[in-house]
Amino acid sequence: MPALLSSPSRVFRIVATAEAVTWTGLLGGMFLKYVTETTELGVSIFGMLHGIVFITYCVTTVAIAVDQRWSFGRLVAGLASSIPPLLTLWFERYAERRGLLAPSWRLIEESPARALERPLAWLLRNPVRGLATGLASVAALTVVALVAGPPVG
C-alpha cells in the first residue's frame, strides 16, 4: 500500500487538513468577491476545488468509520464537521485523541463481519483498485453536485 494511504490516521489527517485549507481559500475568495468586490477568481478556483475536497472528505470519513467501527453518531459528527469552516481540523484531533483513528487498517488483517465491511476490505486489500474506486466515486459525486447546481443561500 502506498505510504500516503498506509493508515487511517494519516489519510484522515491529510484529507481533513486539505478540506480546511480549501475552505479557507474559498472564504478568502468570497471576501474578495462580495466584500471588496475586486475579483471572482478566488471563488472560481476555490469553489470547485473545495467542492471536490469536501466530497473526498465525506467519502474518506465513511470509509474510515466503517473500517474503525465508529458509531453512527460519530460518523454523523465527522460528516457534519465538514460544514462549518475549519471544523474538520478539530474533529481530526478529537478522533485521534479518542483512539478513533488506528495506525493500521483493521480490514486488511481482520475478516469483514458486516455487509459494508466486505467491499471495503476488498478495496483496502487491493489498493490500486481501491484508490481507483475512491477517485471514481469522488468524480461521480462531483458530477452529481455540478448537475444539481450551486448551493442556494
Question: Over the stretch 86-106, which tens digit does the pLDDT of each residue have?
Answer: 999 999 999 999 999 999 999
Q: What is the pLDDT of residues 22-78, one digit of tens each?
A: 999 999 999 999 999 999 999 999 999 999 999 999 999 999 999 999 999 999 999
| DSSP string for residues in the chain | --GGGS-HHHHHHHHHHHHHHHHHHHHHHHIIIIIS-S-SHHHHHHHHHHHHHHHHHHHHHHHHHHHHT--HHHHHHHHHTTSSTTHHHHHHHHHHHTT-S-SS-HHHHSPP-STTHHHHHHHHHSHHHHHHHHHHHHHHHHHHHHHH-SPP-
The average confidence (pLDDT) of the chain is: 94
